[in-house]
Amino acid sequence: MVGDRGELGIGMVGYAFMGRAHSQAWRTVGRFFDLPFTPRMAAICGRDQALVAAAADRLGWAAWETDWKRLVERDDVDLVDVCTPGSSHAEISIAALETGKHVLCEKPLANTVDEARAMAAAADRAAANGLRAMVGFNFRRVPAVALAHQLIAAGRLGTIRHVRGAYLGSHMLDPESPLVWRLDAAQAGSGALGDLGAHAIDLAQHLAGDRIAGVSALTETFVRERPLADGSGARGQVTVDDAALFIARFAGGALGSFEATRFAAGHTEGLRVEVNGELGSIVWELGALNQLRLFDATEEPATQGFRTIQVTRADHPYAGAWWPDGHTIGYEHTFTHEVRDLLQAIADGRDPAPSFAEGLQVQEVLDAVQRSAASGAGWTQVGG
């Protein structure tokens, strides 16, 4: 499970957007963080031989494969990083765990609750043999989000009353944008809900320290046919949602409201989470990644107001590993923080967070939203 000379061999499946982000993380992590062992970028996998060979050279991988099963079986691979569409997450992750590999799997964990349950069960079995599995909700690793989590867990906001989460995008605003895999339910599971909304759901539950117990939802597909990506001029059906809205109740009694859309003109990556408690509120948004807004209701009314904390000091989570106080970091750093935490969890012999069990719980929320929207029956129990 850990190679010779304190090395951990990494094998990655996928080389597109997430593959590039994860490759940057594996290349960078040992240069800024003290690690329990050194990650070695052993091999990358993709179906197109020419493209994956070029990706291996460009992204820094020592070798390449065109069959993920061969990558999983390699003796020089100790950890499999899954950066593929959701339709293959379960098969690859379970095979890797059963072969004796640690696993990092991108979000959402799977396309269905049944797949996610099988993955969580495989992770539980593998943990008995010292193997670890993490789902990649990278925004937990933003220093400002990590600070918010610390403040809320310490009781700074008191009892949580209301949580708001939104991820607004305009990715599919053009009705002539091609029918990519993210618009196919067989490959993606859901649309804006799983692709974007999963991040808001995970952050909301992570920060609130509570789980969503029930939802009432609406979804809509605004453009139902798009041109095929092959350039033939033919058109195909969009089989996922373009937007999802739902209200929620947390197990502890707090209320929640959530929105995910690819049709919000003027928004590119509009992820935002707000937590309101009896003693104050916290707001974080991706557009101001290094900032956290905090309202303290215990202060004198005459001087109350949201204040902005620049989360770039050495004593803030993760920030001290990078630049001098006041210097900002970016989106790519969240993946570096993610793999650093996974490596440390492996070394400590403990389950990383978020675990596959947490990924399953987010999947159950996504499923409840889809069931509520499809039935039009209103309130739907999560996990029911």
Tens place of pLDDT for every residue, the chain, 384 residues? 555 558 999 999 999 999 999 999 999 999 999 999 999 999 999 999 999 999 999 999 999 999 999 999 999 999 999 999 999 999 999 999 999 999 999 999 999 999 999 999 999 999 999 999 999 999 999 999 999 999 999 999 999 999 999 999 999 999 999 999 999 999 999 999 999 999 999 999 999 999 999 999 999 999 999 999 888 989 999 999 999 999 999 999 999 999 999 999 999 999 999 999 999 999 999 999 999 999 999 999 999 999 999 999 999 999 999 999 999 999 999 999 999 999 999 999 999 999 999 999 999 999 999 999 999 888 999 997
| Predicted structure pTM score | 0.96
The answer on 44 and 179 residing in a single domain is no
Query: Would you call 363 exposed, middle or buried from its count of C-beta atoms within 10 A (0-12, 13-18, 19+)?
Result: buried
Split into its structural domains, the chain has a count of 2
Rounded CA-CA distance 38/41 in Å is: 10
The answer on 162 and 85 residing in a single domain is no
Assign residue 370 a region: left if phi > 0, alpha if psi is -120 to 50, beta otherwise?
Answer: alpha
Domain around 107: 4-139
The answer on 152 and 122 residing in a single domain is no
The answer on 188 and 324 residing in a single domain is yes
Between helix 356-375 and helix 113-127 the angle, nearest 10°, is 170
Distance between alpha carbon 116 and the CA centroid of its chain, in Å? Answer: 14
- Where among 88, 115, 139 does a domain terminate? 139
